[in-house]
Amino acid sequence: MVSTRLSRLEGHRRKFMAVIDDTPECGRAVHYAGMRAKNSNGGLVLLYVIADGDFQQWLGVEGIMRAEAREEAEATLAKIAQTVRETIGIEPEMVIREGSATEQIYSLIEEDRDIAILVLAAGSAKDGPGPLVSSIAGKTAAFPIPVTVIPDTLTDAEIDALS
């Protein structure tokens, strides 16, 4: 059960959340979420999750690896945020978390009660649509808010027409 969304109350606005990762389809989700946010006078939240399993090393090496992963996350978010500013004209919120992507998505949705829609993009690779989309399809991670899944074959113009 998720806390009541506040996005319709005075002083709040509906936010669209896109999860940032290294998949090629990630850009489709960001573009759609950004356009929906702009067209509805809402907000855009970009979430980057650093997998916690990446740091199972000796203590000294773990700290260095954690710092490097954080720097990579910050650089990736900065680049995507700049693209959003230039192409869509809105200022996104950027969030970096460590842990399981599914758990961190749930956690952020619970903490920020203005987040009303999660936007994911399906990949067309032979591996399947991607881990988050697959988890929804397999019902292992039914999220507590509506999820919009964008096909990665849509162009920016097609996404603009839909959003």
Query: Which residues are CB-contacts of 102 (< 8 A; sequence separation ≥ 6)?
Result: 132, 135, 141
Residue 2 domain-assigned?
no
Gap between the terminal Cα atoms of the chain: 28
pLDDT tens, position by position, for the chain (163 residues)?
A: 567 777 677 888 999 999 998 888 899 999 999 999 999 999 999 999 998 765 555 666 777 888 898 999 999 999 999 999 999 999 999 999 999 888 999 999 999 999 999 999 887 666 655 555 545 555 555 678 899 999 888 888 999 899 8
- The confidence score (pLDDT) of residue 5 equals 75
CATH number at residue 95: 3.40.50.620
What's the structural domain count of the chain? 1
Residue 21 domain-assigned?
yes
- The confidence score (pLDDT) of residue 137 equals 53
Residue 35 domain-assigned?
yes
- The confidence score (pLDDT) of residue 133 equals 54
Structure-token pair, residue 128:
């399947």
Sheet holding 147-151, edge to edge: 93-98, 43-50, 15-20, 115-122, 147-151
Domain that holds residue 103: 15-162
- The confidence score (pLDDT) of residue 123 equals 77
Residue 91 domain-assigned?
yes
- The confidence score (pLDDT) of residue 161 equals 92
Q: What does each C-alpha distance from 135 to 17, 72, 98, 140, 141 come to in angstroms?
A: 17, 25, 19, 5, 5
The Cα angle at residue 46 between residues 98 and 39, in degrees rounded to 5: 160
HSE, CB side, 13 Å, CA atoms: give it for residue 137: 11
CB 41 within 8 A of CB 13: yes
- The confidence score (pLDDT) of residue 131 equals 58
- The confidence score (pLDDT) of residue 83 equals 96
Cα–Cα dist 88/146, whole Å = 23
Residue 3 domain-assigned?
no
Residue 1 domain-assigned?
no
Residue 90 domain-assigned?
yes
Q: What does each C-alpha distance from 151 to 81, 116, 146 come to in angstroms?
A: 21, 20, 16
